Amino acid sequence: MLKRLKNTALLLTATSLPFTLFSSQLPAATAADTAGALKAAVNQHIADHGGEILGDFRELLAMPNVSTSLPDMQKNAQWISRYIGERGFSSRIVRAGGAPYILAERKTPGATRTVLIYAHFDGQPVEPADWKTPPFEPTLKDAAATLDWEKALKQGIDPEWRVYARSAGDDKAPVIALMHAIDAMDAAGLEASVNVKLILDGEEEFGSPTVEQILEEHADELSADILLFCDGPMHQSGLRQLVFGVRGDIGVNLTLYGPSRPLHSGHYGNWAPHPTDALMRLLATMKDMDGNIQVAGYLDEVTPVSEAEQVAIAAIPSVDAQLQDELALGRVEGAGERIEMTIMRPAINIVGFQAGGVDDQARNIILSKARASLDLRLVPAQTIDHVKQTLEEHFKSQGFYVTYEEPSEEVLRNNPGVIKVDWTEGYPAYRSDLNGEAARKLTAILTKYDGEKPLISPTLGGSLPIHLFDQALDMPIVLLPIANHDNNQHGRDENMRVGNLFSAIGVYAAVLEGFGRN
Amino acid sequence: MLKRLKNTALLLTATSLPFTLFSSQLPAATAADTAGALKAAVNQHIADHGGEILGDFRELLAMPNVSTSLPDMQKNAQWISRYIGERGFSSRIVRAGGAPYILAERKTPGATRTVLIYAHFDGQPVEPADWKTPPFEPTLKDAAATLDWEKALKQGIDPEWRVYARSAGDDKAPVIALMHAIDAMDAAGLEASVNVKLILDGEEEFGSPTVEQILEEHADELSADILLFCDGPMHQSGLRQLVFGVRGDIGVNLTLYGPSRPLHSGHYGNWAPHPTDALMRLLATMKDMDGNIQVAGYLDEVTPVSEAEQVAIAAIPSVDAQLQDELALGRVEGAGERIEMTIMRPAINIVGFQAGGVDDQARNIILSKARASLDLRLVPAQTIDHVKQTLEEHFKSQGFYVTYEEPSEEVLRNNPGVIKVDWTEGYPAYRSDLNGEAARKLTAILTKYDGEKPLISPTLGGSLPIHLFDQALDMPIVLLPIANHDNNQHGRDENMRVGNLFSAIGVYAAVLEGFGRN
């Protein structure tokens, strides 16, 4: 662990956060002003322990966490168990054949309500060559340059700094922020009004294949009044949001076959078909230039966006123009619809296409195989079975023989096109009631803390296996994202803005302080 | 060097070669029967030195030879210089800023004619993970298994064995076969009728970027009566062929741009366009399902196939059905045309497409870039300039801004699509006279040696920078391929059939013995 830095002076800079976390004049707490007292406690804690917070985050991020490596995930789980144990959490690491999960609880004397918090501590696979700095060597940067951790933290912390590492944005920050929220409240003598339970997932980026069994086996000990899903990015406007749904997700790996051995593209080019050509043509039939899905029957189950959802979206400030500029996009899909509406629809993403080397690695051959991976985002009412069936039917309608295994030469000879389809585990979408009790309560807590109402988003574009929690646990489920929207989650150079990490401490403190009160 | 094995017994097996190289009853040479005497000499040499021939080949193939590594290419060049020096060749290694070339000569007392032989000793880049055995650890295999080199050579050599290594088929065999042709003739007291000159290219797989300067600077010392290009595969029927042309070739690397940073495919899928989608759609517009090029103006320069070429092709046995079966192809391009006719047309090959990982490496992101590499095969009269211009115009007609450099964010913002185009050095096609003096002479020599007329092919589908030799050197140019057609050249598991290597010794001996006579 990093040397803990005490009394770190906060560097004063302009911040784009629409609430005041960083102030040289820490307001005095009054009994009548819980929001003020809480904010003062959090600000004082950050002022005193900013370097320690970042040091803890750094240490957690330095542990590789691709879910397929069980030893790595065990190491992460043990670190977290110890870390939360220091804040009075009893915990255990459980498995159901996959990566580990952590179940934990911290009781508050006299509390009658319980908040269950979900986060995950695994990360997407990495391609280190694509990263500016190694994905598991957390790197602190300001807008201009890489900073020396020790020196920078001694000088004072700028909320605009960012920490670069896999899982910085998705999703190792909540456990750090939540523990420091508890530290801040403890230091100021402020009590939580709720019991806190945790379920920390070690295999979310692989679709949480064993979460269903985990939930089934541990449903009793996970009982609570609300499940807060702490994952995903904040709204692109930088405003706080509560999110009431996620898209579902399923992946499919496709292999399309060419000649049984690679051929010289000179001697055979014009005669032996390239599997790359056929795969491109096939994939291009799935949607039009605006992203509208063209697969027959694929959308049959989709229900229209409700009145309440339309109203909620209309209340969100539009970020399309800002985003299009920020991302240097010369055009967007959706035919003029705002982004919040486009993610209410299913999406077919061609996330991977591998067929021969390029540039210096280009070889003049006709390949035996071309491969692609699709990421299919689903909306409520869409079922996995229907999605699979209609997509496979589409491939057949385009002249392909569809197989689930490596085809024999006989099969290849007898069909003008053969495609192998390898589905990953998937899960459906989830949306909860925008106007339920939990929604109103959380909205009130955040409004009181921030001084303005949070945005109410019907769905994240991204996916979480929330439907399983909904099936297994009898409680409302709401998402409370904390990461900056531009955290590059899943990609190279993933990062967390320091100001976002710090602001999460206040948000969690507000929930712990407020949710148990009437 | 391998321990040289003497008196290796030849293993007797059926061979698909349509001429008899392997006989337990070596025919006695008679003065009246030069073809017979030559065949006897070659067979005796193979019987005595088969293990040594394969050992030499193995040693040459064990040296990595990707042209971009100058130290590797120098090592290859030095090995070859020494090797040919042992057979009386004077040589020098020359460079013109690129990889080394070897120029060499072996004079025959009294000879008035000279044969110039071209081969190359560099190989295509390798992806070792794709190979069954390491590309630079030459491996001897029979149909069933990998053989132990030392043990196998002691037992006797089966012509159906294959040697697996990068450049086994393309194009390190000619130098080995030619030197053993000379050894065989020397041992039998048979004299060459010609002086022999060599130009051995160390950068052919990268388009021989400096060959023009090499030819210009050394035109005088390369003077000869014929240039024999020893590269390329034999006809798929296994029959001997003389080839009178090659397609031209140019490569282009394409980069199509997405958002300025990778985006989560859940949060942004349906709104931010995937560059993969756009690249697929763009590439699919270049040709139809039959491989017919759809780029406006691209074919304007192409001249029709001549009467003589049509007649020559008609005389070649058709291999389409056999090939389609062998390659397990459920369909072929060309709308029913035979393969020899399809390669008389230009081809656009999408040889590389890289856009995100697949299977376990798939990450759910919208990429910032999708990349592809094209290999464009050209036919006579097509010019590089016209090809470049019409393809770039095509990209523009499809709505793309075409740039040669990394685009600024400003350019990306202001254009619905941006594509970076990076052309490699290319060269035009070449075809020579099917009915010229050199053609007739070589046809007669091979007919006499093999007992049947070789096939006359107007062109290889593949490419060699022959036009430069045609410009710089005043002599007819003919290709004499020796590699088995299924040598996997450019791909993984490249190989040379042992019978083809041995048969090349006889063919070269026949040319050396016969070309100087009237």
Mutate to test the interface with A, among B167, B234, B264 (most CBs of A within 10 A): B264
Tell me whether residue B153 is in a domain: yes
CA distance A382 to A103: 31
Question: Which of A369, A394, A423 is the last residue in one of the domains?
Answer: A423
What does the DSSP 8-state code read for residue B10?
B
Q: Are A361 and B125 in contact (CB under 8 A)?
A: yes
Question: Is residue B13 in some structural domain?
Answer: no
Q: Which residues contact B336 (CB under 8 A, 6 or more apart)?
A: none
Q: Which CATH number do you get for residue A41? A: 3.40.630.10
Nearest CA in chain A to B460: A267
Q: Test B364 with A375 for CB contact under 8 angstroms.
A: yes
Whether B405 and B465 map to the same domain: the answer is no
Residue-level pLDDT at A6:
31
User: Which ipTM value was assigned to this complex?
Assistant: 0.82
Pick from B66, B231, B351, B367 the residue to mutate for testing the A interface (most A CBs within 10 Å): B351
Of B334, B365, B461, the CB nearest to A351: B365
CA distances to A21, A101, B22, B104, B319 from B325, rounded to whole Å, are 72, 52, 29, 43, 10
| pLDDT score, position B32 | 37
Chain A CB within 8 Å of residue B321 CB: no
Give buried/exposed letters for A316-342 (b at 16+ CB in 10 A, else e): beebbeebbebbbbbebbbeebebbbb
Q: What is the pLDDT of residue B490?
A: 84
**Total count of domains within chain B:** 2
**Residue A7: its pLDDT value, please?**
31
For residues A103 and A208, membership in a common domain is answered with yes
Q: Are residues A354 and A242 in the same domain?
A: no
Span A320-373, pLDDT tens digits? 999 999 999 999 999 899 999 999 999 999 999 999 999 989 989 999 999 999
Q: Which of B330, B365, B371 sits opposite A358 (nearest CB)?
A: B371
What's phi and psi for B368, nearest 5 deg?
-85, -20
* Residue B183: per-residue pLDDT: 98
Do B221 and B263 lie in one domain? The reply is no
Q: Which residues of A touch B347 (CB under 8 A)?
A: 265-266, 269-270
Say which amino acid occupies B483.
A
Residue B236 placed within a domain: yes
Contact status, residue A19 vs residue A503, Cβ threshold 8 Å: yes
Question: Do A268 and A119 belong together in one domain?
Answer: no
Neighbours of B78 (CB within 10 A): 14
Q: Is there a contact between B327 and B488 (Cβ–Cβ < 8 Å)?
A: no
Q: What is the dihedral of CA A22, A24, A25, A26, to 10 degrees?
A: 50
Domain final residue, candidates A374, A404, A423: A423
CA distance readout (Å), B299 to A184, B345, B390 = 74, 9, 9
Q: A146 and A285: one domain?
A: no
Residue B327 contacts A, CB cutoff 8 Å: yes
pLDDT per position in chain A (518 positions), as tens?
A: 333 333 333 332 323 333 333 333 333 333 336 788 999 999 999 999 999 999 999 999 999 999 999 999 999 999 999 999 999 999 999 999 999 999 999 999 999 999 999 999 999 999 999 999 999 999 999 999 999 999 998 888 999 999 999 999 999 999 999 999 999 999 999 999 999 999 999 999 988 889 999 999 999 999 999 999 999 889 888 889 999 999 999 999 999 999 999 999 999 999 999 999 999 999 999 999 999 999 999 999 999 999 999 999 999 999 999 999 999 999 999 989 999 999 999 999 999 999 999 998 998 999 999 999 999 999 999 999 999 999 999 999 999 999 999 999 999 999 999 999 999 988 899 998 898 888 899 999 999 999 999 999 999 999 988 999 999 998 999 999 999 999 998 889 999 999 999 999 999 999 999 999 97
Contact residues on chain A for B465, CB-CB shorter than 8 A: none
CB contact under 8 A, B272 and A327: yes
Q: Are residues B415 and B446 in the same domain?
A: no
Across the interface, of B266, B485, B493, the residue whose CB is closest to A460 is: B266
Q: What's chain B's length in residues?
A: 518
Do A247 and B253 count as a contact with CB atoms less than 8 A apart? no
Distance CA A101, CA A74 (A): 9
- Bridge-based pairing of strands A245-246 and A430-431 is antiparallel
Contact list, A264 vs chain B (CB under 8 Å): 233, 461-462, 489-491
Packed helices A173-188 and A34-61: angle between N→C axes, nearest 10 degrees: 140
Helices vs strands, H then E, count in chain A: 15, 21
What pLDDT score was predicted for residue B444?
95
N- to C-terminal Cα distance for chain B? 40
End residue of a domain, out of A398, A423, A448: A423
Q: B80 and B226: one domain?
A: yes
Same domain, B353 and B410: yes
- A279 in any annotated domain: yes
- Pick from B324, B355, B417: CB nearest A353: B355
* Chain B residues near residue A366 by CB distance under 8 angstroms: 349, 351
Q: Report the CATH number that the domain containing residue A411 is assigned in CATH.
A: 3.30.70.360
Q: Mark yes or no for CB contact B331/A364 under 8 Å.
A: no
**Is the CB of residue A463 less than 8 Å away from at least one CB of chain B?**
yes
Q: Are residues B87 and B173 in the same domain?
A: yes
Query: Could you give the CA distance from residue B55 to residue B52 in angstroms, rounded to a whole number?
Result: 5
Tell me the CA end-to-end span of chain A in Å, nearest whole number.
Answer: 40
Are A227 and A249 spatial neighbours (Cβ–Cβ below 8 Å)? no
Shared domain check, B166 and B55: yes
| Contacting A residues, span 226-255, partner chain B, CB-CB under 8 Å | 232-233, 246-247, 249, 251, 253
Q: Is A23 a member of any domain?
A: no
Q: Do A327 and B489 touch (CB under 8 A)?
A: no
Q: Which residues of B touch A331 (CB under 8 A)?
A: 273, 416-417
Q: What is the pLDDT along chain B (518 residues), one digit of tens a residue?
A: 333 333 333 332 333 333 333 333 333 333 336 788 999 999 999 999 999 999 999 999 999 999 999 999 999 999 999 999 999 999 999 999 999 999 999 999 999 999 999 999 999 999 999 999 999 999 999 999 999 999 998 888 999 999 999 999 999 999 999 999 999 999 999 999 999 999 999 999 988 889 999 999 999 999 999 999 999 889 888 889 999 999 999 999 999 999 999 999 999 999 999 999 999 999 999 999 999 999 999 999 999 999 999 999 999 999 999 999 999 999 999 989 999 999 999 999 999 999 999 998 998 999 999 999 999 999 999 999 999 999 999 999 999 999 999 999 999 999 999 999 999 988 899 998 898 888 899 999 999 998 999 999 999 999 988 999 999 998 999 999 999 999 998 889 999 999 999 999 999 999 999 999 97
Instruction: Flag whether B6 is in a domain.
Output: no
Is A389 inside a domain boundary? yes
Residue recorded with tokens 């089934």: A216
Please calculate the CA angle A203-A496-A148 and round it to the nearest 5 degrees: 120
Q: Tokens 């070789």 correspond to what residue? A: B454
Q: What is the DSSP string of B268-287?
A: HTTTSPPHHHHHHHHHHTSB
A294 CB within 8 Å of a chain B CB: no
- Collect all residues of chain A within an 8 Å Cβ-Cβ radius of residue B372: 358
- Segments in B285-319 forming alpha helices (H): 307-314
% of chain A surpassing 70 pLDDT: 94
Would you state the pLDDT for residue A17? 36
Short-list B52, B33, B41, CA closest to B187:
B41
Confirm whether B374 is domain-assigned. yes
C-alpha B13: how far from its chain's center? 28
- Tell me the two tokens of residue A289: 């230039």
Which residues lie below 8 Å from residue A455, measured CB to CB, with a gap of 6+? Answer: A235, A237, A239, A240, A241, A242, A315, A316
Q: Print the domain residue range for A273.
A: 248-302+345-423
With CA atoms as reference, the chain B residue closest to A235 would be: B267
Show the beta-strand stretches assigned E in A176-238: 194-201, 226-229
Question: How many CB contacts within 8 angstroms connect chain A with chain B?
Answer: 357
Q: Which residues in chain B are closer than 8 Å to A356, comparing Cβ atoms?
A: 351-354, 373
**Position of tokens 């800002």?**
A322
Q: How far is residue B118 CA from its own chain's centroid?
A: 12
The closest alpha carbon to A50, from A181, A152, A139, A153, belongs to A153
User: Is the Cβ–Cβ distance between A248 and A429 less than 8 Å?
Assistant: yes
Question: Could you tell me if A186 and A287 lie in one domain?
Answer: no
Report yes or no: B273 and B263 within 8 Å, Cβ to Cβ.
no
